[in-house]
Structure 1
Amino acid sequence: MRASSNHLFRLIQLGIGLFLYGVATALMVRAAVGVTSWSVLTQGLERVMPLSFGTLTVLTSFVVLMLWIPLRQKPGIGTVLNVVVIGPAADLTLVLVDEPGGLLARWLLFTAGLLLLAVSTACYIGARYGTGPRDGLMVGLHERFAMPIWRARTLVEVTVVVCGALLGGDLGIGTVVATFAIGPLVQPLMPVFSRLPWSPTPDTGRTPVEQDEPQYV
């Protein structure tokens, strides 16, 4: 498989993953049993700003990217697409999907959203086109201040949740479930999306197929 084809397939994988991430986020919002930490903040901002959930997701991403500057982080194409794809995908889903009536239906929708979030996360990360704005913030704190990853993530997540909750975001049991479940759900999926025929290997940056092809100088 040629390099140009590899990049095309990786971009498609990236786009699908980011779009589905927006869909998953919206499903969890519609479930109304608690959302992920950043969605708590976005919902809180919705209460004080006359903008849609998706639009605020995009604007929040831009603000977070500004924080990359003092942290000396460099965005990639995956970072840029993360900003512009997830928000519109979430808004589209919120238009198409109504809030369920019963508690069981809410939890089923939340579970579907959480599982889709795990799949979509592994999908777009597996494309290896750079971190999203929020993950980049965590990495930047880690590298700039020699802060352990777990501490940087905790600092960011707690700050975001507290600010969102104070603004009136949906902080519920689902938030706790998502916080502890998303990591274990994503972990086994990462090898699946990182070892596709067009996936670059971490050590060479080329796909397994490319490594077997003769190289011409």
Structure 2
Amino acid sequence: MKAFYIRALSYSVGLIIVSFGVALTILANLGAGPWDALNVGLAHLTPFSVGNWVIIVGVILIIVNALLTKSKPVLVSLLSIFIVGIFIDFWLLVVFPTFYVQELILQVVMMIFGIVVLAFGASLYMQAEFALIPIDGFMFAIRDVLGVKLMVAKTIGELTALTAAFLVGGPIGIGTLLVTFLIGPLIQLFFPQWQKRINWKTVQYEKG
């Protein structure tokens, strides 16, 4: 039971960290990550918020992932997109509603920090082995279907989203390219480190 609580904690905290990283990359105003640029672009075209579109796009991806893997839709993934969608709106609309950075150096620092935070959180929440964010489920589906490394699968998924973001007029810039090509390697870097820590702690609690 203690092991379950450790997993639940890593899952929930990881998703909140992911949402914070996403908010930072959007607020850096250098071009959001592909998926986030898509959600921001759609938010500008509709009365729905960025967080709302995180949920809507997530539902679509749940269906796509099921088709790619020829399996049933992972409906429990709805939990992850609701958490991330709600907290992205929390950071953007409640915590930083009027935040704006003009200095280029600060924008770059914020963007890079946001990318690191995003990858850090994603690597943490995936350790729980609960429901994946549909975007990450898409990454694993691509990996399994094409037989490529996780880093390559993530990059393919980001490029797919980039195309869609361009079509809806999402904020695309140098920051978008940084997310596209850095998020995969960073997850590849953080994932095994968290895996060692979470597994070790879980074993310790189970023995206790």
Report the counterpart of residue 59 of structure 1 in structure 2. Answer: 56
For residues 65 and 182 of structure 2, what CA distance do their matches in structure 1 show?
27
For residues 209 and 107 of structure 1, what CA distance do their matches in structure 2 show?
40
Residue 23 of structure 1, CA deviation: 1.0
Unaligned runs of 5+ in 2: none
For residues 122 and 9 of structure 2, what CA distance do their matches in structure 1 show?
14
Report the counterpart of residue 100 of structure 2 in structure 1. Answer: 99
Report the counterpart of residue 204 of structure 1 in structure 2. Answer: none
Report the counterpart of residue 167 of structure 2 in structure 1. Answer: 166
The one-letter amino acid paired with 1:89 is: F
* Other structure's SS at 2:146 match: coil
Specify the structure having the higher radius of gyration (Cα).
1
Contact 2:18 2:84 in 1 (8 A): yes
Contact 2:155 2:184 in 1 (8 A): no
* Other structure's SS at 1:35 match: coil
Report the counterpart of residue 86 of structure 1 in structure 2. Answer: 84
> How do residues 20-39 of structure 1 correspond to structure 2 at under 5 angstroms?
20-39=17-36
State the TM-score, normalized to the length of structure 2: 0.84
For residues 36 and 86 of structure 2, what CA distance do their matches in structure 1 show?
14
Matched, 1:199 2:195: no
Residue 30 of structure 1, CA deviation: 0.7
The one-letter amino acid paired with 1:149 is: V
Contact 1:82 1:132 in 2 (8 A): yes
RMSD: 2.5
Residue 122 of structure 1, CA deviation: 1.3
The one-letter amino acid paired with 1:33 is: L
Contact 2:154 2:184 in 1 (8 A): no
For residues 158 and 177 of structure 1, what CA distance do their matches in structure 2 show?
12
Unaligned runs of 5+ in 1: 202-206
Count of aligned pairs: 201
Contact 1:127 1:194 in 2 (8 A): no
- Alignment identity in percent? 25
For residues 118 and 53 of structure 2, what CA distance do their matches in structure 1 show?
19
Cα distance, 1:65–1:121 mapped onto 2, change above 3 Å: same
Residue 81 of structure 1, CA deviation: 2.8
Structure (1 or 2) with the greater helix fraction: 2
State the TM-score, normalized to the length of structure 1: 0.81
